[in-house]
Amino acid sequence: MNDPSTPVRPTAWVGQSIERREDVALLTGTGRYADDLGTRPGTLHAAFLRSPHAHARIKSIDVSRALAHEGVRCVLAGADVRSWARPFVVGVKQPMEHWCIAVDKARYVGEPVAVLVAQDRYIAEDAIDLIHVEYEPIDAIVDSETAIAPDAPVLHEAVGSNVVSNRQFVYGEPDAALDAAPHRVKIKIRYPRNSCTPIETYVVVAEHGSEGDYDVLSNFMGPFSLQAVMALALQVPAAKLRLRTPRDGGGSFGVKQGVFPYIVALCLAARKAQAPVKWVEDRLEHLVASTSSTGRISELEAAVDSNGRISALAYDQLDDCGAYLRAPEPATLYRMHGCLTGAYDIPNLKVRNRVVLTNKTPAGLVRGFGGPQVYFALERLVQRIAVELQLDPLEVYKRNFIGAGDFPFRTAAGALIDSGDYHATLQLAGQRGDLAELVEKRDAARAEGRLYGIGYAAIVEPSISNMGYITTVMTKEARAKAGPKNGAITSATVSIDLLGAVTVSVASVPHGQGHITALSQVAADVFGLNPIDIIVDVELDTRKDAWSVAEGNYSSRFAGAVAGTVHLAACRLRDKLARIAAAQLRCDHADIVFADHKVFARTAPAEALSFPRLASGPHWAPGVLPDGVSPGLQETAIWTPEQLVPPDENDRINTSGTYGFAFDICALEIERDSGKVRIDRYVTAHDAGTLLNPALADGQIRGGFAQALGAALMEEFAYRPDGSFASGTFADYLVPTAVEIPEPVIAHMQTPSPFTPLGAKGIGEGNSMSTPVCIANAIADALGPAVDPQAIELPMTPSRIIELIAPAEQRPQHIAPPPQGDGKHFATSGSVNIAAPVEEIFRVLHDPEQLASLIPGCRKLHVASDNRYIADIALSVGLVNVSFHADISVVDEEPMRRMRLFGKGSGALGAAEGDGRITLTELPDGTRLDYEYKVSLSGKIVAVGARMIESATGVVLKQLFSRLGRVAGHKASGAARWQGLLRLIGLGKPGSQERR
Amino acid sequence: MKPAAFDYIRADSAEEVVQLLAEYGDDARILAGGQSLIAALNMRLAQPRVLIDISCVADLSRIRVGNKNLTVGAAVTQAVAEKVVQDSNNIPLLAQAFPHLGHFQTRNRGTVCGSIAHADPSAELPLCLVTLGGAVNLRSWRRRRRVAASEFFRGVLTTARETNELVESVEFPMPKKQARYGFVEVSMRHGDFALVALAGAVSDQGVRLGVGGVADRPWVETLPTTSGDDLDAALEDLAWKLDARSDQHASARYRRHLVRNLGRKLITELSS
Amino acid sequence: MKRLRHTRHTVAIRLNGIDRTGECEPRTLLSDFLRYELGATGVHVGCEHGVCGACTVTVDGLAQRSCLTLAVVADGREVRTAEGLAPEPGVLSELQAAFRRHHALQCGFCTPGILMSCADFLARVARPSEPDVRQMLSGHLCRCTGYSNIVSAILEVASGNEDSPDA
């Protein structure tokens, strides 16, 4: 019992769904989240100025008006960052510079351009609008396939291409297998950009110390390897960047990784301000610019025999990492590298991985990280194999699964899959979910012409990432030069205080998973105590805690690595106590039992010591410890799975320490009228090894399922073709609510991992991997084989579904076709009849005073050069008002007939450009004016108002030209209409400043 | 996301409100429930100099179920109106529409008149108002005027209200005898603005179909019949003439599809 | 008529049964006033545009978004937050206890807002159905739980909700 290498099972507390230790504080509003901790007196507040352009050179920044604003301390801009910091290191050798804020060029909408520090956040936001940045916009690249074209605009000129990594891998003999295969089944998929959008946004409080050190409180999910990345950027030794995180985190799901560039920016801002600086990200900032899953286009082909047995896979993966390769990218590609063959025994594999940069927010950790992308291709392919070979999909699964007797199983690309029984899990899912009934329902529904489908997904869920997997992106020569990287080092400290109570201390940075509860269960078992007796300290302080490069909240490493290491540390401390107790009880230490708060010899339970009494003793009397027992009651265990070695010469890599499994079944119906998807039943069967607390595990499944359902049906970061971002609010980035999320049927298998101390594996990411593709497969099944498989694209919105199934439509002849935009601009057009001759209209448009009176909201207009004007405009549409500077020019194309009225402007809400052609046609009693406009808008106004922006622009243009009609018509018709016009449009005299 | 600075005035009477509007015009915004306004202030989409809080004005807090109209004052919250509608058990279109209207937490503050004045083309209450043929009572310092709903909505967020006018109350006509009313909405999530919302009124005098979320304003169309090819043709025309737009949530074609198909379904249900 | 210039003013509210005053500008959101001026950090801010529901409090008994309410508008009113739900220190309310029992929270960031909506909702709807509860919850975004345990907890409390006015 005292041998820590022999896990103690079954035990009293581990495996029970006890109530959470965390909950009382959280339910009574007394949680301690990052924004709740208070700050030093004199702490200032930051706001970020962000680029409204997807791609633009920064010509100049003028901060003088902002600095003059009362309450403003300083502005940090590119020049400061250049002198105090360095660009972040990146995972591939390319001459790319990613600074904590943009220094010469902005490469995505929302990229920080300056940090303003002021007395409070309200003032900071007042002043941020006073900074004037001159941008020179460049064509933006949004689509990753366009970005790889040779003539595409390049984001990072020094690289010379938008493809920043291109690697090919061959395992076994895939080409021979593909050539020999009786069937080749192929699929092309696109995985969208989305995120888990925790409800708590990023929070950072940074301070610059007197020794050039930085002290940061934040809700970052690490320290992780990124602590070093930040220290290098700040040009300080790692120890001079102290990171602290609070007890409670408001959800991470990987997403809180994306705070790290902000930590560096705010450290520099604090240095400039010479005061602590606090920043709480707002939701708009979070949606537009925090992070995103990696978008992917995959082509995947399988060599298949007539029974559905797969002998080879060929992947071509193109990852859209956004504007910068931000660490740890391109890890989305490589985290899954070892298990690209999924749950299947497939000996031959080839892979091409390309990473492309586009004008979007940099990609980063998002729950499932790499898994949703891989399995969306692989599991859609399995569905296609069943369809094309006319097989029951379950047969395809059974014929390809790794056999229950084959574990640990080495995959083609090098993963060592530790344990499982995939056939039995499939069976369990079918039974628990009553698959037979679902099939009957489908048959009945189809007989009535309804769209009912069943989908499946089988996924291997990796956890405890190998820190060396990312080096697979390098060639073996480059790896040899760089030195080996591997392992998943984990630390835990267990100590006993002066009165004999046990404290567990970890660097796991929980964000709601219940680490305190689970660790108190683990430690209680070891010491024979109750979980409530165990103090668990999850606050992180990189100055004081035992931690190393792999530490943090990611890759589902808690159950396997952190809880396992706590178990090891606790066992070591207990072993020490057993030796002390053995001396007192005069027995062998191997016979000492810890149970019910007591310590006794197995042979003499009546002669028991109380745990606190025994455990506190060594503090008070270290001089009388038995021989060979060192003083002190604190043990730190440091563990790394020995199976995690660096990639070998053939690029084989065991990407994770342990691998769970999930098999899902989804039955759903699609409403023909609306295209809405109704989930009839969702079944998810998991094998995550030993479950520490089944209720916590189920919580992870339900939460992962809900996020994945969002990804499948509604969530997407939408970019318009010009790179503007259209999902800036929670009204447009659609997180599912309680009405949209059904209750899944959950089943568990427990095949303990032989590689983790407690036999546990991760469980939090499985549904992020399985559910999107399982739902997609069910939709494909419901829509039937006639629908193009490639058109099953996430999120599968009702609109996308109707586009696939609705009959073709034809516009009636009497309805005029709507104006067509060119993708990057939208078009709007109209016409007005004006009671004035063509000449008069021409004259008005060339008269600055008159022009000023035409432009809605024009407050000031001055002539810059011939027919070119600079104007201050304050537009109102409903309750919205928008102020901006505009540069307007009038170009005659054909005198008295055609002209262009061109304008571009920018302001706090974004940038706009309108290029319009006006055509004048003489009528018997005046002139008809036709206008056709191409308009592009970017920045905040699109992010928050995409739904109405085009109509609103139409309203403004209509106002402009009807005013033209009135002004020119008034000139022509003389005094009779003078009074009426005045009343109608509120003009004092022509050319006066008006607002309406 | 914090509002720019403004002065705040809490008015005690409608008289005060219109005097203040005369004084400040477009520099002022009316704060009733604030469920759209404060979000816009937080995003700095609006930066008024003055907010005029009307939520405590007693003479604007009245709601009255009359023989002809349900008249709702400017300060009446959607939650209060919803309760009145439920209790009266005789205002079927609004009774069906209210649950789609945001969430109960926003209905607790949001006002009926605020939603009308805001004129979001996807909002439910403006759609009900035009479908029922209601009216908006506007009041300025100089005059009062009553504008038919069909005249009131002019475009996206744009109405017939002048900047010195207050939407003092709105009138929803009470149901006609023998008429049947129905409301359907398709949105991405419960409580979201409609991708398409349809409000139908079918009686001996004809079929009125209101469409929200498609055109730049709530639209009402009188249809020639309740069934058959003529209905299909009329719906087809209607689907096209609303000039549907595509956005990231739904294509124009999808919106036309819903107008045709759900429109037919709604009318068929109401006339059976 | 009460006119307040855009400078700082005193606002007095009754917060969880205690009279409190603080200073703020007219533009100060009630959420910021409660958190930073009065220290009610149980009020969480998740979106500041009224969608996520994390900042929900009750004002004069009605659940509403404190991010869409100005502090000056709440002046003189009764505000309740999650800090005021427990009947006494160390004892959870029935609903709080049900949340704990059902594992109805994970990170807990959305939880106080949900509890405040429930406080209003359960006082008006005596025996809500599951769809009623889900519709009420649709005014809140939770990213951790998938909602079903929240629904179970509320339904359990509602089933014992005998004293409700509508019962």
**DSSP alpha helices (H): ranges in A846-939?**
848-854
Question: Rounded mean pLDDT of chain A?
Answer: 93
DSSP letter, residue A53: S
Q: Which of A893, A965, A958, A985 is nearest to A925 (CA)?
A: A965
Cα-based distances in Å from B69 to B72, B132, B133: 9, 10, 11
pLDDT higher than 60, residue A937: yes
Residues 329-358 of A with CB under 8 A from C: none
Residues 81-140 of C with CB under 8 A from B: 117, 120-121, 134-136, 138-139
Contact yes or no for A701/A744 (Cβ under 8 A): yes
Sign of CA dihedral C27, C31, C34, C36: negative
Contact yes or no for A458/A378 (Cβ under 8 A): no
| pLDDT tens track for A51-71 | 999 999 999 999 999 999 999
Q: Which of A220, A218, A204, A217 is nearest to A279 (CA)?
A: A204
For chain C, the chains sharing at least 3 beta-carbon pairs closer than 8 angstroms are A, B
Nearest to C107 among A511, A698, A706 (CB): A511
Superfamily of A826-985 according to CATH = START domain (3.30.530.20)
Q: How many CB pairs under 8 A join A and B?
A: 151
Task: Dump the DSSP string for A651-680.
Answer: -----EEEEEEEEEEEEEEE-TTT--EEEE
How far is A54 from A939, CA to CA, in rounded Å?
8
Residues 123-152 of B with CB under 8 A from C: none
Cα-based distances in Å from A897 to A270, A830, A869, B13, B219: 59, 16, 22, 55, 36
Q: Which of B1, B12, B10 is nearest to B51 (CA)?
A: B10
Q: Which 3 state secondary structure label does DSSP give B86?
A: helix
Nearest to B262 among A673, A806, A995 (CB): A673
Bigger pLDDT: A941 or A367? A367
End-to-end CA distance of chain B: 51
C-alpha torsion B74→B77→B80→B84, nearest 10:
50
How far is C93 from A748, CA to CA, in rounded Å?
33
What contacts A3, CB < 8 A, 6 or more positions away?
none
How far is C61 from A27, CA to CA, in rounded Å?
19
pLDDT higher than 70, residue A990: no
| pLDDT tens track for A791-821 | 999 999 999 999 999 999 999 888 888 777 7
Given CB atoms, is B47 within the 8 Å cutoff of chain C? no
Mean pLDDT score, A856-882: 89
What contacts A19, CB < 8 A, 6 or more positions away?
A517, C100, C101, C103
To test the contact with chain C by mutation, choose from B1, B8, B13 the residue with the greatest count of C C-beta atoms within 10 A, namely: B8
Question: Rounded mean pLDDT of chain B?
Answer: 96
CATH topology (fold) of A34-138+196-289: Aldehyde Oxidoreductase; domain 3 (3.90.1170)
Q: Which of A357, A361, A404, A400 is nearest to A382 (CA)?
A: A400
Bigger pLDDT: A489 or A823? A489
Task: Dump the DSSP string for A397-462.
Answer: HHHHBPPGGG-SEE-TTS-EE----HHHHHHHHHHHTTHHHHHHHHHHHHHTT-EEEEEEEEEEEE
pLDDT higher than 60, residue A974: no
Chain C nearest CA to A696, separation (Å) = 8
Task: Provide the CATH number for the domain formed by C94-159 in this structure.
Answer: 1.10.150.120
For helices C111-124 and C94-101, the axis angle rounded to 10 degrees is: 130
| pLDDT tens track for A243-272 | 999 999 999 999 999 999 999 999 999 999
CB contact under 8 A, A740 and B120: no
From its phi and psi, is residue B189 left (phi > 0), alpha (psi between -120 and 50) or beta? beta
- Sort strands B50-53 and B28-31 into parallel, antiparallel or unpaired: parallel
| Cis-peptide into A246, omega within 30 deg | no
Burial A314-337 (b: 16+ CB within 10 A, else e): bbbbbbbbbbbbbbbbbbbbbbbb
Residues of chain A with CATH 3.30.365.10: 23-27+488-631, 163-194+292-473+645-804
Nearest to C68 among B39, B53, B191 (CB): B39
| pLDDT tens track for A420-473 | 999 999 999 999 999 999 999 999 999 999 999 999 999 999 999 999 999 999
Residues 163-192 of B with CB under 8 A from C: 189-191
Q: What is the model's pLDDT at position A722?
A: 92
ipTM over 0.85: yes
Contact yes or no for A383/A395 (Cβ under 8 A): no
At CA A903, angle to CA A899 and CA A905, rounded to 5? 180
What contacts C89, CB < 8 A, 6 or more positions away?
none
**A34: which chain C residues are within 8 Å (Cβ-Cβ)?**
none
Q: What is the model's pLDDT at position A971?
A: 64
| Cis-peptide into A328, omega within 30 deg | yes
Burial B8-42 (b: 16+ CB within 10 A, else e): bbbbeebebbbbbbeebebbbbbbbbbbbbbbbbb
Task: Provide the CATH number for the domain formed by B180-271 in this structure.
Answer: 3.30.390.50
CB contact under 8 A, B249 and A732: yes
Q: What is the model's pLDDT at position A895?
A: 85
Measure CA B269 to chain center.
24
Mean pLDDT score, A123-151: 96
DSSP letter, residue A642: T
Mean pLDDT score, C84-93: 94
Residues of chain A with CATH 3.90.1170.50: 34-138+196-289
Per-residue confidence band for A973, with pLDDT thresholds at 50, 70 and 90:
low
How far is A342 from A379, CA to CA, in rounded Å?
9
| pLDDT tens track for A630-651 | 999 999 999 999 999 999 999 9
Instruction: Please list the residues that pair with C63 across neighbouring strands.
Output: C58
How far is A506 from A518, CA to CA, in rounded Å?
12
| pLDDT tens track for B149-201 | 999 999 999 999 999 999 999 999 999 988 999 999 999 999 999 999 999 99
Task: Provide the CATH number for the domain formed by B7-53 in this structure.
Answer: 3.30.43.10
Position A149, amino acid:
A
CB contact under 8 A, C27 and B11: no
Task: Provide the CATH number for the domain formed by A163-194+292-473+645-804 in this structure.
Answer: 3.30.365.10
Chain B nearest CA to C67, separation (Å) = 8
So where are chain B's domains? 7-53, 59-173, 180-271
Q: How many CB atoms lie within 10 A of CB A498?
A: 10
Position A275, amino acid:
A
> For domain A23-27+488-631, which CATH number applies: 3.30.365.10, 3.40.50.2000, 3.30.70.20, 3.40.720.10?
3.30.365.10
Residues of chain A with CATH 3.30.530.20: 826-985
Residue C58: closest C-alpha in chain B: B105
Residue C40: closest C-alpha in chain A: A29
Position of tokens 């959008």? A197
Per-residue confidence band for B115, with pLDDT thresholds at 50, 70 and 90:
very high
Query: DSSP strand E in A853-989: where?
Result: 858-865, 868-877, 880-894, 898-907, 910-923, 926-938
Radius of gyration, CA atoms only, chain C: 16
Q: What is the model's pLDDT at position A817?
A: 83
- Sort strands A348-356 and A502-506 into parallel, antiparallel or unpaired: unpaired
Residue A37: closest C-alpha in chain C: C41
CB contact under 8 A, B42 and C67: yes
Position of tokens 């020049």? A79
How far is A558 from A688, CA to CA, in rounded Å?
12
pLDDT higher than 50, residue A728: yes
Chain C nearest CA to A395, separation (Å) = 32
Domains C9-83 and C94-159 share a fold: no
Task: Provide the CATH number for the domain formed by B59-173 in this structure.
Answer: 3.30.465.10
pLDDT higher than 50, residue A708: yes
Q: What is the model's pLDDT at position A824?
A: 79
Q: What is the model's pLDDT at position A983?
A: 47
| Cis-peptide into A817, omega within 30 deg | no
Position of tokens 């094309």? A388
Q: How many CB atoms lie within 10 A of CB C35?
A: 21
Per-residue confidence band for C160, with pLDDT thresholds at 50, 70 and 90:
confident
Structure tokens at A680: 């009839």
Per-residue confidence band for A11, with pLDDT thresholds at 50, 70 and 90:
low
> For domain C9-83, which CATH number applies: 3.40.50.300, 3.20.20.80, 3.10.20.30, 2.40.50.140?
3.10.20.30
Contact yes or no for A915/A944 (Cβ under 8 A): no
C-alpha torsion B210→B211→B213→B217, nearest 10:
-60
**C144: which chain A residues are within 8 Å (Cβ-Cβ)?**
251, 512, 699, 703
Chain A nearest CA to C76, separation (Å) = 23
Given CB atoms, is A661 within the 8 Å cutoff of chain C? no
pLDDT higher than 50, residue C70: yes
